[in-house]
Amino acid sequence: MKNHQLFMASIYEPKKLAAFRLLPIGKVFQYVFLFVFLSTAVSFIRFLTGDIELFNASDELIEYAKTVGGLLYPMAFVLQLVISTFYLFIRVSFFGLVGLGLLKILKRRGEYRHMWRTSAISITVPVLVSLTLEILGIKNELNFPITAAVHIIYLLLAANYYPKQPKPKSPHA
C-alpha cells in the first residue's frame, strides 16, 4: 500500500485504520517518518523566518550562535529532527497504550503491537491539527489536549472494527 493511500484512508476510513494493524512494521515506520520530516520542516522554516527564537535564553547562547555561524542551521535542523522523532514515537507509544485500554473496555481482541500500529497510522489528523495550530499561533497549552482528543477519537473509531472477544463457554455445555 502506498503512503498516499494510507494517508487518505487514515483520515476517512476507520475500518481500514483498524485493518492497518496487520501492516508490516517497516511500512508503519516509513509512514511515521513522513510526519517526522513534515513537522521538522515546518519547525525549521519557522526558525529560518525568525518566527521561533531559539537563543532567547541568555547572552552566552546568542554569542555562541554568532561564533558557530553557518553551522547553526544544520545543527538546528538535526536537533529539530531528533526532537520530532522522539516526540512522535513517544506519542504513538503512549496512545498505543490508551488504545489497548479502549480495546479492553470495548471487549475487543488485540495486542499492544496491533494498537501501536493503529496509533501510528491514526496520528495523521492529530499531527495535521497540531501543525495548523502551531502555524496559526494558538497557545501551546491547548495544542496537546486538542490533538490528544482527536487521536483518541480516531483510536476509538478504529477499535470498534477490531474483532470481538469470544464469549466464554459455559461449564455445562
- Confidence band for 58, pLDDT divided at 50, 70 and 90: low
In a domain, 141, yes or no: yes
Indicate if the pLDDT at residue 173 is higher than 70.
Answer: no
In a domain, 35, yes or no: yes
Helical residues (DSSP H) of the chain, grouped into ranges? 3-12, 14-19, 25-48, 59-68, 72-106, 112-121, 124-136, 140-159
Q: Render 78-95 in DSSP notation, one character per residue.
A: HHHHHHHHHHHHHHHHHH
Q: What is the pLDDT of residues 67-94, one digit of tens each?
A: 877 788 888 899 889 999 999 999 999 9
Q: What is the pLDDT of residue 51?
A: 67
In a domain, 102, yes or no: yes
pTM of the model: 0.84
Domain count, the chain: 1
In a domain, 113, yes or no: yes
Domain of 133?
A: 3-159
In a domain, 169, yes or no: no
In a domain, 17, yes or no: yes
Q: What is the pLDDT of residues 90-113, one digit of tens each?
A: 999 999 999 999 999 999 999 999
